[in-house]
């Protein structure tokens, strides 16, 4: 193929690919424009997960009529003039790419009226072409409507998740911006329903209530740096934690950023206070001089580069640690003001490698009573044993996690968690156990769901119900939990349900095929004895007896092994008894 210059609309689509990845990216750019325009009221409306419609209305400065078309020109921006400006950016936008990119992949309608003008303007843009530009009555501010996103790019459409999942991402984003701008009133209407609204009264705590629910917000600990100038926000006490990092918000100069190292600095402040695999919730709002941070390092501006990263991490870690210690020292330790008890802080250095994001959800180390009698009446000798499970004699436990056994051909190590998961799952599958699958709670529990969890709840209600949950809507994104699966009756119902939501959300998409089996597997995982739990000999024997009855005793329902074996021949070789 000879070299040729691509037509403008195709070039525009290619460029759009960097900035506009999914509906939430459109919402992000439009909200940022509204905030840059000085809006105090930002209304977001979404239909069909944002694919059918995204509309963002603001009461900001508006765009003068004759400049409106320029807003859709590539590199059309009112925010910077020279290269010098690039290193002291005070606005969220500056690249002049968002509107042209959106207009390359959707139909856009802009209605705007500038502060100083009496008449408004209407502009329609499609396929990067301005189709209409005419006067139009409008209140001061700007409304941008984006319809049929990616209709002209079927390949992109294929990468989108379900409308519910895309709407959840949008809701996460609106939550984040509401937290970063407590003086701005945000509202989000999803498919005609008002799902989120903040008062815009400049109080971060009031936004926190909307995002986390009053119950959790009340427990959160306020954080600030020593001079209360660089850092403000909230962080969770060690008693509140999640299986994912989703409820961790970092803002730098009002910009929502994704910075693993910085998030890690916060988590490090919990050193020895949190279980492995559990994550604190936090909102950290950093203010630094505009020239102390380079924001021009990423097309969607989600990453930034600090001039002095080590210093920033230190400030964050110290502030969080101080707040945690002040909070802890009150009742728990009985020492005077808890001073001197402070465990040493790990050195505040940016980690060389971002911590592994796939740490599994609170398996290691989690505690709780042994859920229910593990054993049915011991009738082992009358049961036809499937050939895949040898007869095992329990010798003991190591690391409070593995059961050591002697078998017909050497030594076996049984993973107590995986084994119990298998037993619970098989119990479930047995028809006789279905009837009493649900356990009524003495005290129903209210939960304020985050947008992703809400999307899962809405989509999987029926499945959750069949699994034994009884959950009712309770206004806004709250639900009332009335009953849990019987297997979970010894667990804290709130924690257990959230764990199931988190596990269900693993791929970012709520469940699709085989939803019921997946929910039940997750319930079993959540109900099973954890690693790190000391078991009595009798409990271990009972667990193995139950495992023996399974048709597939060698794997847990997720397919991981329940046991490994060191056979006698190997042992003899190791000791040099055999060649």
User: Site residues (CB under 6 A) for ligand ADP?
Assistant: 29, 33-34, 37, 58, 60-63, 71, 76-79, 93-99, 142
- 7-15, 44-52, 98-106, 246-254 -> range binding Mg ion (CB under 5 A): 98-106
Q: How much of the chain is in helix, strand and coil states, percent to nearest 5?
A: 35, 20, 40
Least distance (Å) between residue 96 CB and Mg ion: 8
- Complex with ligand ADP: residue 61 or 122, whichever CB lies closer: 61
Least distance (Å) between residue 478 CB and ligand ADP: 32
Q: Which does 454 bind (CB under 5 to 8 A by kind): Mg ion, ligand ADP, none?
A: none
Q: What residue number has its CB nearest to Mg ion?
A: 93
* Contact flag: residue 233 with Mg ion (CB under 5 A): no
Cβ-proximal residues to 416 (8 Å cutoff; 6+ apart), any chain: 397, 401, 402, 403, 529, 531, 533, 535, 540, 543
Least distance (Å) between residue 249 CB and ligand ADP: 22
Residue 485 backbone dihedrals phi, psi, to 5 degrees: -60, 140
Q: Which residues of 433-458 are buried (b: 16+ CB within 10 A; e: fewer)?
A: eeeebbbeeeebbebbbbbbbbbbbe
Pick the binder of Mg ion from 93, 141, 371, 485 (CB under 5 A): 93
- Complex with ligand ADP: residue 138 or 563, whichever CB lies closer: 138
Q: What residue number has its CB nearest to ligand ADP?
A: 93
Question: Pairing between strand 185-190 and 141-147?
Answer: unpaired
Residue 526 backbone dihedrals phi, psi, to 5 degrees: -70, -35
- 33-41, 205-213, 362-370, 479-487 -> range binding Mg ion (CB under 5 A): 33-41
* Contact flag: residue 98 with Mg ion (CB under 5 A): yes
Least distance (Å) between residue 145 CB and Mg ion: 16
- Complex with ligand ADP: residue 188 or 543, whichever CB lies closer: 188
Instruction: Provide the token pair at 24.
Output: 């939430």
Least distance (Å) between residue 173 CB and ligand ADP: 16
Least distance (Å) between residue 142 CB and ligand ADP: 4
Q: Which does 179 bind (CB under 5 to 8 A by kind): Mg ion, ligand ADP, none?
A: none
- Give, rounded to a whole angstrom, the gap between the first and last alpha carbons of the chain: 66
* Contact flag: residue 510 with Mg ion (CB under 5 A): no
- 87-95, 167-175, 223-231, 437-445 -> range binding Mg ion (CB under 5 A): 87-95
- Complex with ligand ADP: residue 95 or 541, whichever CB lies closer: 95
CA 92/CA 254 separation, integer angstroms:
8
Least distance (Å) between residue 254 CB and ligand ADP: 14
Least distance (Å) between residue 114 CB and ligand ADP: 8
- Complex with Mg ion: residue 12 or 455, whichever CB lies closer: 12
CA 376/CA 294 separation, integer angstroms:
63
Backbone conformation region of residue 554, classed left if phi is above 0, alpha if psi is from -120 to 50, else beta: alpha
CA 520/CA 437 separation, integer angstroms:
11
Instruction: Provide the token pair at 474.
Output: 């309770």
Closest CA to 243 of 529, 484, 444, 496: 496
- Complex with Mg ion: residue 33 or 477, whichever CB lies closer: 33
Instruction: Provide the token pair at 394.
Output: 């329990």
Pick the binder of Mg ion from 33, 112, 187, 439 (CB under 5 A): 33
- Complex with Mg ion: residue 96 or 510, whichever CB lies closer: 96
Q: Which does 62 bind (CB under 5 to 8 A by kind): ligand ADP, Mg ion, none?
A: ligand ADP
Least distance (Å) between residue 57 CB and ligand ADP: 9
- Complex with ligand ADP: residue 96 or 164, whichever CB lies closer: 96
Site for Mg ion (CB under 5 A): how many residues?
Answer: 3
With helix as H, strand as E and coil as C, how does 464-494 read? HHHHCCEEEECCCCEEEEEEEEHHHCCCCHH
User: In 274-425, which ranges are E strands?
Assistant: 282-286, 293-294, 305-306, 393-398, 402-407, 410-415
- Complex with ligand ADP: residue 140 or 260, whichever CB lies closer: 140
- 92-100, 389-397, 466-474, 484-492 -> range binding Mg ion (CB under 5 A): 92-100
Answer positive or negative: Cα dihedral of 37, 40, 43, 44. Answer: positive
Neighbours of 214 (CB within 10 A): 12
Cβ-proximal residues to 46 (8 Å cutoff; 6+ apart), any chain: 23, 27, 53, 54, 55, 167, 170, 188, 189, 190, 191
Closest CA to 53 of 76, 77, 30, 19: 30
Least distance (Å) between residue 93 CB and ligand ADP: 2
User: Mutual orientation of helices 515-527 and 493-504 as an angle, nearest 10°?
Assistant: 140
- Complex with Mg ion: residue 93 or 280, whichever CB lies closer: 93
Least distance (Å) between residue 451 CB and ligand ADP: 23
Least distance (Å) between residue 484 CB and ligand ADP: 46
Q: Restricting to residues 303-332, which ones interact with Mg ion according to CB under 5 A?
A: none
- 31-39, 189-197, 204-212, 309-317 -> range binding Mg ion (CB under 5 A): 31-39
> Which residues of this protein are in contact with Mg ion, per CB under 5 A?
33, 93, 98
């Amino acid at each position: 193929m000879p070299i040729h210059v691509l037509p403008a609309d195709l070039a525009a689509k290619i460029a759009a690919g960097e900035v506009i990845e999914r509906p939430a990216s459109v919402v992000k750019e439009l909200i940022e424009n509204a905030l840059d325009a000085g809006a105090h009221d930002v209304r977001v409306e979404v239909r069909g997960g944002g694919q059918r419609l995204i509309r963002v209305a603001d009461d900001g400065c508006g765009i003068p009529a004759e400049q409106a078309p320029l807003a859709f020109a590539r590199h059309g921006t009112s925010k910077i003039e020279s290269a010098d400006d690039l290193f002291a950016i005070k606005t969220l936008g500056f690249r002049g790419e968002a509107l042209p990119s959106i207009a390359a992949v959707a139909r856009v309608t802009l209605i705007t009226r500038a502060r100083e003008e009496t008449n408004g303007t209407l502009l329609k843009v499609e396929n990067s072409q301005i189709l209409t530009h005419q006067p139009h009555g409008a209140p001061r501010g700007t409304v941008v409507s984006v319809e049929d996103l990616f209709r002209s790019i079927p390949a992109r459409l294929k990468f989108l998740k379900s409308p519910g999942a895309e709407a959840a991402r949008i809701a996460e984003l609106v939550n984040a911006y509401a937290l970063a701008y407590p003086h701005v009133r945000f509202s989000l209407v999803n498919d005609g329903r008002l799902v989120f609204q903040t008062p815009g009264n400049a109080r971060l705590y009031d936004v926190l209530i909307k995002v986390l629910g009053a119950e959790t917000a009340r427990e959160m600990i306020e954080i600030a740096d020593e001079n209360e100038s660089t850092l403000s926000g909230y962080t969770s006490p060690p008693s509140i934690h999640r299986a994912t990092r989703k409820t961790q918000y970092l803002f730098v100069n009002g910009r929502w950023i994704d910075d693993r190292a910085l998030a890690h600095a916060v988590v490090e402040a919990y050193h020895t206070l949190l279980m492995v695999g559990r994550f604190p919730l936090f909102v950290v709002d950093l203010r630094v001089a505009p020239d102390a941070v380079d924001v021009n390092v990423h097309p969607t501006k989600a990453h930034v580069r600090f001039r002095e990263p080590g210093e920033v991490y230190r400030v964050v870690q110290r502030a969080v640690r101080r707040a945690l210690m002040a909070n802890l020292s009150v009742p728990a330790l009985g020492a005077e003001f808890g001073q001197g008890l402070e465990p040493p802080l790990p050195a505040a250095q940016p980690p060389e490698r971002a911590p592994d994001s796939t740490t599994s959800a609170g398996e290691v180390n989690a505690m709780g009573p042994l859920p229910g009698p593990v054993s049915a009446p011991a009738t082992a000798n009358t049961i036809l044993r499937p050939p895949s499970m040898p007869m095992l004699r329990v010798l003991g436990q190591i690391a409070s996690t593995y059961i050591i056994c002697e078998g017909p051909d050497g030594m076996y190590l049984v993973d107590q968690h995986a084994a119990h998961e298998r037993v619970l799952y098989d119990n479930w599958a047995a028809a006789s156990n279905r009837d009493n699958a649900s356990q009524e709670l003495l005290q129903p529990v209210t939960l304020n769901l985050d947008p992703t969890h809400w999307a899962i709840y809405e989509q999987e209600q029926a499945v959750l119900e069949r699994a034994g949950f009884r959950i009712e809507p309770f206004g806004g994104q709250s639900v009332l939990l009335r009953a849990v699966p019987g297997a979970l009756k010894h667990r804290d119902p709130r924690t257990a349900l959230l764990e199931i939501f988190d596990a269900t959300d693993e791929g970012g998409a709520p469940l699709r095929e085989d939803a019921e089996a997946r929910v039940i597997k997750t319930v079993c995982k959540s109900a099973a004895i954890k690693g790190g739990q000391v078991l009595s000999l009798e409990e271990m024997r009972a667990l193995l007896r139950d495992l023996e009855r399974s048709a597939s005793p060698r794997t847990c329902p997720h397919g991981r092994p329940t046991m490994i074996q060191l056979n006698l021949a190997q042992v003899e070789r190791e000791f040099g008894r055999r060649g």
